[in-house]
Amino acid sequence: MEFVVWLAGSLVNALILGFLSRRLLGAPVGWPRTIILSLVVSSLAVPVVTSVWTGLGLGPDTPSDHWVVVSLVTGLVLAWVVVIQVIIMVIAEAFVPTGSVPGPIQLIRSIPSRRQRSRRYLEIIAILAKHGLTGYLRPRRPTRPTSRVAVEAREAMTEAGVTFVKLGQTLATRPDLVSAPFAAEFAALHSTVPAESWDTVRPVVESELGCRIEDVFADIDPKPLAAASVAQIHAATLLDGTAVVIKVQRPRARAQVEADLDIMGHLAQRLERTTPWGRSLGLVGLAEGFSQSLKEELDYRVEIANMQAVAAASDLVRIPTPYPELSGRRLLVMERLDGQPLSAAGQTVAARSAEERETMAQDLFTAVLRQVMVSGVFHADLHPGNIFVLSDGSLALLDFGSVGRLDRSARQTLGMLLLAADRGDAIAATDALLELLDRPADLEDRRLERQVGQLLLRYGGGLGQSGSADLFADLINLVVAHRFAIPPAIAAAFRALGSLEGSLTVLTDGLDLVASARAQGQELLAEQLQPEAVRREIEGQVAGWLPMVQRLPRRIDQLGAQLEDGRMTVGVRLFGRPDEREFLTSIVHQLVLAVLAAALAICGVLLLVAPGGPVLLAALSLFQLLGAMLLLFAFTLGARVLVLVFRQPTASG
């Protein structure tokens, strides 16, 4: 019977505690910890109340006219017990927030994945230890030469597998996040693994087709043409005799990538919480963006859409024709091209004349520049392995898992930057940079403008001068030194043009990239200045201005009438944004609660130690009872202030 009473009391206590935690304090405390704390406190409640009664001289022989006071004291003691529990819950929430530790059911369900994650996590830690990088997981990282650390990081990423290789390739395009030595090392990352047997990948093909292979293909070569860490390529022929290739994802690739992304996310949270460099980089946001990008890259339906978008803007290079009706999330069927990758076509390229090779390079550069500057949809990974040399001497682009997109405003601003650099106009180039990149809060505009001017002067004041091929590399170093944040789309454009330069050198050493960019820029500008293009631009601008122009006369008339009557006023709202008002309200709220809690606590202490006063019991006066009540309210409000301090978000500027 006593056990049933104890259990019932514990459940009631848990309900009261949960209600107060959620309603009074506004803290979404988890039920498991609430129930555990209630069970512990319920075991101590009876001894506590008994000891209080004994201290006040209460017992079974207490006169009946004192039971009102006894009930009041008992209720006050129980209220103190609940408040102390709430304070314990608040402190627990501050150090171990609800959700940071999985619940029992979630923990049981996650045992298999946790076992797999732990095994993989140990593998990654072992790789980091092998390359001397574990010290960077601690708040105080060791001091080592940056160039050596960059080499070790590249080797560790290569050994860790595809997910970390692709992470390094992504970081190579973000010189604003990693230093130049790291960006240079990460740009050389690649991974090669043995091909899967045909018997292993055949079920994937049939699963994506939804039928037997023989119902779609006349034959498939079981020996792959190429193999990477995520997919492999096989030659095939359709039933109508059309030559195609199929890109099939390895059966375990997605599971491996998702496990690595899960580990990467947990590692990013830990490093951002415990290390200064992790917080400065915003590792959690980077990990989330990278995870989303890589998951899209694993969906070949997205790659088909990318191919079609780039093909619509490319006429100087070939884009393989995909077969969406035969493709799926893990299977891509596309046209088979007769040729070989540029990385393996050294003899084929060398056999052509210098003029032919320069024409091939010029066509490739023009096609990519038009993708970036005109259509805004461009291939973002133009290394020699993704450029195909066809038998007729033309070029094609492959592997559209990584495609960049620039909106119209970014394309126009990039064009203004190129034009300003060509003219040696430091002011216009600086304005274009400020428009193109994310401005840092403490930027010194005049200092940036002077350094841009010095940079342009060093290279002769224009793109046409000799020796200016490194102009934009130095420009990137300059904006990184000023702590500009480079938007991902702009970083993708820089990555595309940077990798393209290396591919063009395989074709010819005689192509002047800067002069070609200048000529192509002038040609693109001339196209935009054609009467028809200008007319479309003006029509679009006028369509946007028309509603404003229609309202302008009425507004001018209203302003004139207000000036004439002396009724014109100017109002300035100091806190116009909702988040600013919410932030100010929260500060005032915390201040009021803190002052009120302090006042109640002081009054409570004064009443507790004040002599005299009406006597309720032999060891209890009215002043002491009121003091205990005031302290109860003070502790409750203090707990509320603690919750606000630990949970209230700060205002964003």
Instruction: Give the pLDDT score at 650.
Output: 42
pLDDT tens by residue, 522-545: 566 555 556 776 676 676 667 767
Q: How many C-alpha atoms does 145 have within 13 Å on its Cβ side?
A: 4
pLDDT classification of 354: cutoffs 50, 70, 90: confident
Instruction: Give the pLDDT score at 218.
Output: 93
Report the 10 Å Cβ neighbour count for 476.
19
pLDDT tens by residue, 592-633: 888 998 999 999 888 888 887 787 776 778 888 888 888 888
Share of the chain above pLDDT 70, in %: 75
pLDDT tens by residue, 129-177: 888 887 776 666 666 777 788 888 888 888 887 788 888 877 776 666 6
Strands 387-390 and 339-341: antiparallel
Instruction: Give the pLDDT score at 201.
Output: 92
- CA–CA gap between residue 475 and residue 497 (Å, rounded): 14
pLDDT of residue 60 exceeding 80, the answer is no
Instruction: Give the pLDDT score at 396.
Output: 92
More confident call, 465 vs 369: 369
Instruction: Give the pLDDT score at 469.
Output: 47
Instruction: Give the pLDDT score at 115.
Output: 72
Mean pLDDT of all residues in 56-60: 62
User: Among 377-381, 436-440, 649-653, which stretch is predicted with the lowest mean pLDDT?
Assistant: 649-653
**Token pair listed for 477:** 């170093």
Mean pLDDT of all residues in 34-56: 70
For the chain, the average pLDDT equals 78
pLDDT tens by residue, 399-456: 887 788 888 888 878 877 777 777 778 888 888 888 888 788 778 888 888 988 888 8
More confident call, 530 vs 330: 330
pLDDT classification of 247: cutoffs 50, 70, 90: very high
Instruction: Give the pLDDT score at 333.
Output: 95
- CA–CA gap between residue 65 and residue 78 (Å, rounded): 22
Sign, CA dihedral 276-277-282-286, equals negative
pLDDT tens by residue, 187-202: 777 666 678 899 999 9
pLDDT classification of 652: cutoffs 50, 70, 90: very low
Instruction: Give the pLDDT score at 216.
Output: 93
Instruction: Give the pLDDT score at 6.
Output: 61
pTM of the entire structure? 0.62
The 3-state secondary structure of 337-348, one letter per residue:
CCEEEHHHCHHH
* Closest to 518 (Cα-Cα) out of 431, 411, 412, 419: 419
- CA–CA gap between residue 260 and residue 243 (Å, rounded): 36
Strands 395-397 and 226-227: unpaired
